[in-house]
Amino acid sequence: MATLKKSHITQCLLDPFASTGADAPDAFRYKGDWRIWGIPLLVGALGLTSGLSGWLADPRQFYFSYLIGWVFCLTIALGALFFVLIQHLTRARWSIVVRRMAEALLWTFPLLAVLGIPVLFGLHDLYHWTHTEAVAADPILAGKTPYLNVPFFLIRLAVYFLVWSLLAYHLYRNSLAQDCTGDADIPARQRKVSALGLAAGAVTTAFASFDLLMSLDPHWFSTIFGVYVFAGAFMSIHALLALCAMMLQGVGNLKGVVTTEHYQDLGKLTFAFVVFWTYIAFSQYMLIWYGNIPEETLWYRHRLSHGWEVHSAVLLLGHFVVPFFLLLSRAVKRSRLFLGVICVWLLAMQWFDIHWLAAPVLHPDAATIHFLDVANWLGLFGIVLGVSMYRLVRHSLVPCRSPGLDDSLHFENT
């Protein structure tokens, strides 16, 4: 019986386990070449180089752009985490053929922790609450110092990444071990990890969104903010999984394994979380509108003036109205071309959403999308996607000994 071997410690950011792809059944073995991970990595390297060079010209702009791109990648990884957790907890069978892709994305957390180092250098440029004199002169911010201070901030970030990485490690290892041994206890073990993981993931995601994004404007607060970030993240992962499957099938893999039925389901869930995002976004907006208290409304004021109102309108149309009406149709969800275009668009909208959350803090007087925003986004996303694809193709492309696999392969929408 084969066992799961660890890879060399120097490779642990790429993949903590030795390749098991050679033992996979032929139908699930990767048959393409290096380009599936090489091209994203090249785009990533190119983007990141030009992005990092922006630091020389305008460090403050660079830090914001980098943070936006980095948080985008973080929401993708968190989306993958929640996706896997929920599939295990609900014992979902339809999704087994696409679960490995999410599992490959999971192990992005340690890499993201490393890629997050530039953010730490930019704390002073990013977060107003790190300016001690300004905080001392501001009674509201002074009252928040027990929470908003640099040492505690760093400890919290470390805890989040530790929790996420541990969860990712267990979920990923168990799934690969199942490929090797077919151990019948693994589904139960995965559910146990997932039950704890869902609770831990929810709390850490909410607080991470408070720390990384909400505290950019330290006077403002919204308790629903964590759910808002989760909604965007969870929508994005379904879109990205559909795209990953299309990429793999585009180079001749998983023929007849991932079918129109699975694409339709991913489309349905994307649609559902487009609506959920809107529901949460509107809940936040309406309560603040109705309360009409300056300390809350100011945040929206910034996003509804000086050109940012155009961004807000694009967000409403592009993140809700257009994808809502397009994804309503069954035919669209079952067409790879249409679904693919919508998924790319929604991933761009997810980035645009995070940009909309963060960038007005830097440019309250003139709405822009800076070149560095795009360069850092594509750079970081390229790296994350490339490394995840590299990790994915080293193993069986689906959890080949998962008990429900047969149901997943023959899954049909009724």
Partner 1 sequence: MKKLLAQIKASMGIYESEPVYGLLAEFADPGALLHAASQVREAGYRHFDVHSPFPVHGMDKAMGLGNSLVGFFTLGGGITGFALAYWLQWWTGAVAYPLNISGKPFFAIEPSIPIMFELTVLFAAFGAVAGMFALNGLPRPHSPLFYSRNFTRATDDAFFLHIAASDKCFDLEETRQLLADLGGYHVELLAAQE
Report the interface residues with partner 1, using CB under 8 A.
282, 285-286, 289-290, 328, 330, 414
Best CA proximity match to 152, nearest among 203, 111, 210, 197: 210
Measured CA to CA, the distance from residue 349 to residue 345 in angstroms comes to 6
Select 152 or 289, whichever has its Cβ closest to partner 1.
Answer: 289
Select 173 or 301, whichever has its Cβ closest to partner 1.
Answer: 301
Measured CA to CA, the distance from residue 174 to residue 264 in angstroms comes to 28
Least distance from C-beta 304 to partner 1, angstroms?
12
Phi, psi of 6 (to 5 degrees): -80, 150
Select 132 or 413, whichever has its Cβ closest to partner 1.
Answer: 413
Select 10 or 414, whichever has its Cβ closest to partner 1.
Answer: 414
Measured CA to CA, the distance from residue 409 to residue 402 in angstroms comes to 11
Least distance from C-beta 296 to partner 1, angstroms?
14
Least distance from C-beta 308 to partner 1, angstroms?
18
Select 137 or 328, whichever has its Cβ closest to partner 1.
Answer: 328
Measured CA to CA, the distance from residue 401 to residue 24 in angstroms comes to 10
Residues 193, 13, 77, 354: what is their CA dihedral angle, to the nearest 10 degrees?
150
Least distance from C-beta 355 to partner 1, angstroms?
24
Least distance from C-beta 264 to partner 1, angstroms?
12
Structure tokens at 146: 């027990």
Select 140 or 328, whichever has its Cβ closest to partner 1.
Answer: 328
Rg (CA), the chain: 21
Least distance from C-beta 329 to partner 1, angstroms?
9
Select 60 or 330, whichever has its Cβ closest to partner 1.
Answer: 330
* Long-range pairs, 64-67, Cβ under 8 A, ≥24: 64/125, 64/126, 64/358, 64/359, 64/361, 64/362, 64/373, 65/370, 65/372, 65/373, 65/375, 65/376, 65/377, 66/118, 66/119, 66/122, 66/372, 66/376, 66/380, 67/119, 67/122, 67/126, 67/212, 67/358
Which residues touch 224 (CB under 8 Å, ≥6 apart)? 280, 283, 284
Residue 6 is given by DSSP the state B
Select 264 or 396, whichever has its Cβ closest to partner 1.
Answer: 264
Select 273 or 381, whichever has its Cβ closest to partner 1.
Answer: 273
Least distance from C-beta 136 to partner 1, angstroms?
36
Q: Where are the alpha helices (DSSP H) in 251-400?
A: 260-291, 294-303, 308-316, 322-327, 330-333, 336-362, 371-393
